[in-house]
Structure 1
Amino acid sequence: MSVGNSSNDDGHGVTELGYKQEFERTLGNFHTFAAGISYISILTGTFQMFYFGFSVGGPANWWSWPMVFAGQLMVALCFAELSARYPVAGSIYNWSKKLGNPHVAWLAGWMMLVASIVTVASVALAYQITLPQIADFFQIAPDSAVNAVILGSVLIVFSTVVNAWSTKLMARINSAGVFIELIAAVLLVVLFAFEIVRGPQIVLDTAHKGDGVTLGYFGAFLVGSLASAYVMYGFDTASSLGEETVDPRKNAPRAILRALIASFVIGGLILLLALMAVRNINAPELSTIGLQYIVIDVLGSGLGKVFLVAVAIAITVCILAVHTAAIRMTFAMARDNNLPAGSWLAKVHGKQRTPVRPAVLIGLIAIVLLVVNIGQPQIFQLVTSIGVVLIYVAYLLVTLPMLIARLRGTWPGKDAPAKGFSLGRWGLPVNILAVLWGAGMAINLGWPRSEVYNPTPPFHWFLQWGAVLFVGLVAAVGFAYYWFVLRHKSGVLADHAAEVPAVVAEEAV
């Protein structure tokens, strides 16, 4: 594996895909790293999902964190290679298009887009489990579901305005938020370390969670591993900002890998030391409130609330990153006329060169999805869980065509940049592992378990089978619309097509 100096072609790979450069290249190395790590969001993910993993798998569920990291690292290494070649907006969509065919690419982009919009809404709900614990002021409405929608809507409006106004502003806020999040995460690790009351062997305690479960504790562990799988994705965002990044063929691969590795190390330590520091490992609050309870329990209400403020900041920049990724995916597909009203959505506005219309549209859809949470929390929980399944399937629609290309001997191809990130001889085994991991995790995530998709009454078969039904519906309906309507007019819109050099045009004549 190696990272060399990037190629300085005029489009940094954009022109190779037939597009002209439309965004300003203002984002540096830390900006792209921050985009990837804020999408993963160590504090948001661990604080939002700890209770679920612990309630299903007990302390031993900690091992799902390194397991998911190992699998996602294989995917990230493949993406790092691709980002060195094609650091473009809508990375998943464009990578699949170059590796496979336009039909598979559309499906990959569509699934990633739907999942990203759903994720914007689901992450916004995390405000409800954090802000009211900081101050009663944030409990605006007495009903928790209504209050969650109010807080989440305010956050989405903020993200919409920032993303529509300026990429520079988004990057500055995101970078500042990530800086605070990283400092808070490291301090949390240190403070937990000073308060430990038991040894690391706690991660061997299954708490009898396998009793009465199919496959015993392994079955419980597979369910609990979803808590980690729900966190470690989104690192491809670093490449999706490639058209706005300085020297993207060098910065994007590094940002992808650094974001995932940093999240694994710091997040893993937080989870481990939290288990070692909590006063009562059998406290029922661990399975209902989660890490928020541990922070207050170990550090006290005063200092604990300071860290909850950091969690709130992490949630804020996480929303910014997810929203940004969804905007870039919308823009990328729209400029290929592969979405309804493509030319309208692909318009880049203003001096700051931002896609305003996708930002506003995604924000509105996310708020509508939030409203579903009022009175129908089971439906919303189902949809948000399935959003993660869609992301893993979208990733698989990149790594699988990449593996086929390797087996056919067409990767990396004659037009690969002379210098950049390369797996070399490790490419094939890493790619095989990435495909096996992606397929296995997609099945695990979508398996019709009542404890995941229908944990509370009323119990309905269609809720339990929601992942299979919803993913199938999104894929079938979306692809049918593409096949019968969009594909007949698909192609790079004239306003976004790369200009043909005069010499080339004369030779063609």
Structure 2
Amino acid sequence: MSTPSAADRDAEQLRALGYTSNFNRTMSLWENFALGFTYLSPVVGVYTLFGLCLAAGGPPMFWSYLLIGLGQLLVCLVFGEVVSQFPISGGVYPWARRLVGKRWAWMVGWIYACALCVTIAAVAVGAGPYIAAMLGFAPSSTTNIYVALVLTLLATLINLSGTKTLARIAMFGFLCELAGAVVVGVYLLLFERHQPFSALFDTFGIGSAEGSYLPAFLTASLAGMFLYYGFEACGDVAEETPNPSKRIPKAMRMTIYIGGVAAMFACLALILAVPDMAAVISGKDTDPVGTILNNAFGPIGSRVVMAVVTVSFVSCVISLQAAASRLLYAYARDEMVIGSGLLKRLSPNTHVPVPALITCGVIPAAIIALGFVLEDAVATIVSFAAIGIYLAFQMIVAAALFARARGWVPSGQFTLGKWGTLVNIGALLYGVGAIVNMAWPRSPASPWYINYAMVLTTLIVIGAGLVYMWLRKPYDRGNAPAGDAWKVSGRTTAKGAGAAEAA
């Protein structure tokens, strides 16, 4: 008998997990990593929140990127073990299904899908000021909405063209973003450094009146918390990546390593290039990134930099939408959502879930369009983006710990061995702390619904999901394997027996 090809082994592994796939497995390790990197998007994350977090915590906010990166690395390692054994498209939803069961999986998928749609809208709207600066017109709430709608449409069209195009765009976005971050950062450090390196340990008086700098540092740490979660997208396209059990955990770690270093370098360069730190902290300079780039590169040069930033925003929206569509497709394939028959269809030509992609373009566009009449409401909705993603991630971390307690022994090509439980506990403690920090009210003078916007939107999303589950019982549809991780440990490799039979 001839030796099975790599494609045959991948197909057999997926069949052992209870599925067949018509996706094209053409995404290389680096392209898979690029998808996660552009989802994480260090340029988008750093540039968007730099001014706000620098004003809140001063230059030491830089260290929050390191601490949060280490915390998210623990989460990434847990995810790596799970996806290595269950390399199924859709990421957190199928993982939760196998680790715990149908109900838990439905709620994880619901929360994460809502968070992704909101994040797509938020990133698309956030691109407006940078595109305006690049093209030379004044940004406004109305123009930002129009830019966001066009950007969402563009992302949808690119994603509809197939996995190969998605992979190439993600790789192009990665190269542009990394090159831009390095070139701009090196230039700022060499020719526009106005602050000493010791400034990274100087609070500039922040927190001295209260006697503690910690509250200010925790507020400033939101910059990192809104950054380090692109690695999960690598697993969303598991059925489009050859040898996913080995490659995806590696791509996830690369996303944290390379994305984290790029973000820290960009943040370091910007901090040391601030010409007047007191003006930023006092609120006199509300756009330190614009000030730095205009001082360093002038009107024309700053537009070139803004073009690189624009590429980062575009590739970020594309990657987010790709992740959301694969999640919705996985939901539909297991008949867990209304319209499953349509949403689980793949194009016979491009082999991508066209209806799911269109849905993941229409919903964010609707959220964006609300800004024409309900700007404050949209801001409240957008506040759910990061905390929703963190909550879904921690539901997977908790699920992995639950499965371990029931006897699950990770058996993919990537495992943590005897360190698995300890890393799992560390990831859960970090994640719970991060969620509390994000949700903590920080504006006593603001109305309660502003202070508790994250908590309010989270409760609404969870409540709506619970009501839908109670009324429609979507988790009872379909017969895909569920809650069997501890039953099939060691038997879901390409050589293993079928998980579907075990379920």
Structure 1 distance, partners of 2:62, 2:284, is 14
Match of 1:187 among 183, 189, 195: 183
The residue aligned with 2:219 is 223
**1:198/1:276 contact within 8 Å kept:** yes
**2:118/2:385 contact within 8 Å kept:** yes
1:491 equivalent to 2:491? Answer no
- Matched to 1:238, the amino acid is C
The residue aligned with 2:278 is 282
Structure 2 distance, partners of 1:75, 1:243, is 22
Structure 2 distance, partners of 1:266, 1:387, is 23
Per the alignment, do residues 472 and 168 of structure 1 end up closer, same or farther by CA in structure 2, a change over 3 Å counting?
same
1:178 to partner: Cα distance: 1.3
The residue aligned with 1:392 is 390
**1:390/1:471 contact within 8 Å kept:** yes
Per the alignment, in what secondary structure is the counterpart of residue 197 of structure 1? coil
Structure 1 distance, partners of 2:369, 2:351, is 31
1:410 to partner: Cα distance: 1.9
Structure 1 distance, partners of 2:32, 2:18, is 23
Per the alignment, in what secondary structure is the counterpart of residue 203 of structure 2? coil
Structure 1 distance, partners of 2:404, 2:479, is 27
The residue aligned with 1:270 is 266
The residue aligned with 1:352 is 350
Structure 2 distance, partners of 1:488, 1:158, is 34
**2:124/2:149 contact within 8 Å kept:** yes
1:198 equivalent to 2:191? Answer no
Structure 1 distance, partners of 2:203, 2:391, is 30
1:379 to partner: Cα distance: 2.4
1:437 equivalent to 2:430? Answer yes
C-alpha distance after superposition, 1:105-148 (max 9, x if no partner):
111111110000001100001222211212225x5xxx711100
C-alpha distance after superposition, 1:430-449 (max 9, x if no partner):
11110001111111112233
**2:36/2:233 contact within 8 Å kept:** yes
Task: Describe how 1:52-71 pairs up with structure 2 within 5 A.
Answer: 52-71=52-71
Structure 1 distance, partners of 2:184, 2:325, is 33
Structure 2 distance, partners of 1:177, 1:15, is 34
1:421 equivalent to 2:408? Answer no
Structure 2 distance, partners of 1:206, 1:233, is 28
The residue aligned with 1:109 is 109
The residue aligned with 1:3 is none
Structure 1 distance, partners of 2:306, 2:226, is 20
Which segments of 5 or more consecutive residues in structure 1 lack a partner in the other structure? 1-5, 495-502
Structure 2 distance, partners of 1:488, 1:81, is 25
**1:125/1:148 contact within 8 Å kept:** yes
- Matched to 1:101, the amino acid is G
The residue aligned with 1:168 is 164
Structure 2 distance, partners of 1:430, 1:35, is 25
Per the alignment, do residues 76 and 292 of structure 1 end up closer, same or farther by CA in structure 2, a change over 3 Å counting?
farther
Task: Describe how 1:403-422 pairs up with structure 2 within 5 A.
Answer: 403-412=401-410, 416-417=411-412, 420-422=413-415
Task: Describe how 1:38-49 pairs up with structure 2 within 5 A.
Answer: 38-49=38-49
C-alpha distance after superposition, 1:195-230 (max 9, x if no partner):
2233211111212232556x7321111111112101
**1:335/1:342 contact within 8 Å kept:** yes
Structure 2 distance, partners of 1:382, 1:297, is 34
Structure 2 distance, partners of 1:220, 1:380, is 26
The residue aligned with 2:239 is 243
- Matched to 1:204, the amino acid is F
Number of residues of Structure 1 aligned to a counterpart in Structure 2: 477
- Matched to 2:200, the amino acid is V
Structure 2 distance, partners of 1:119, 1:12, is 35
Structure 2 distance, partners of 1:24, 1:343, is 21
Structure 2 distance, partners of 1:367, 1:217, is 40
**1:343/1:493 contact within 8 Å kept:** no
Per the alignment, do residues 88 and 308 of structure 1 end up closer, same or farther by CA in structure 2, a change over 3 Å counting?
same
The residue aligned with 1:467 is 454
Among the aligned pairs, what percent are the same residue?
Answer: 29
Structure 1 distance, partners of 2:285, 2:313, is 21
Structure 2 distance, partners of 1:28, 1:488, is 34
Greater shift after overlay, 475-484 or 150-159?
A: 475-484
**1:337/1:486 contact within 8 Å kept:** no
Greater shift after overlay, 70-79 or 170-179?
A: 170-179
Greater shift after overlay, 474-483 or 228-237?
A: 474-483
The residue aligned with 1:478 is 465
The residue aligned with 1:296 is 294
1:15 equivalent to 2:12? Answer no
Greater shift after overlay, 244-253 or 389-398?
A: 244-253
So what's the TM-score if we normalise by structure 1? 0.88
- Matched to 1:296, the amino acid is N
Per the alignment, do residues 400 and 485 of structure 1 end up closer, same or farther by CA in structure 2, a change over 3 Å counting?
same
Runs (4+) off by over 4 Å: none
Structure 1 distance, partners of 2:480, 2:158, is 27
Per the alignment, in what secondary structure is the counterpart of residue 207 of structure 1? coil
Match of 1:321 among 319, 322, 330: 319
Structure 1 distance, partners of 2:368, 2:169, is 24
1:488 to partner: Cα distance: 6.0
C-alpha distance after superposition, 1:326-365 (max 9, x if no partner):
0001001111111111111111123111111111112111
Task: Describe how 1:56-95 pairs up with structure 2 within 5 A.
Answer: 56-95=56-95
Structure 1 distance, partners of 2:357, 2:85, is 27
1:303 to partner: Cα distance: 2.4
Per the alignment, in what secondary structure is the counterpart of residue 216 of structure 1? coil
The residue aligned with 2:492 is none
Structure 2 distance, partners of 1:351, 1:296, is 46
RMSD: 2.4
1:489 to partner: Cα distance: 4.0
Structure 2 distance, partners of 1:211, 1:64, is 19
**1:278/1:297 contact within 8 Å kept:** no
Per the alignment, do residues 488 and 8 of structure 1 end up closer, same or farther by CA in structure 2, a change over 3 Å counting?
closer
The residue aligned with 1:341 is 339
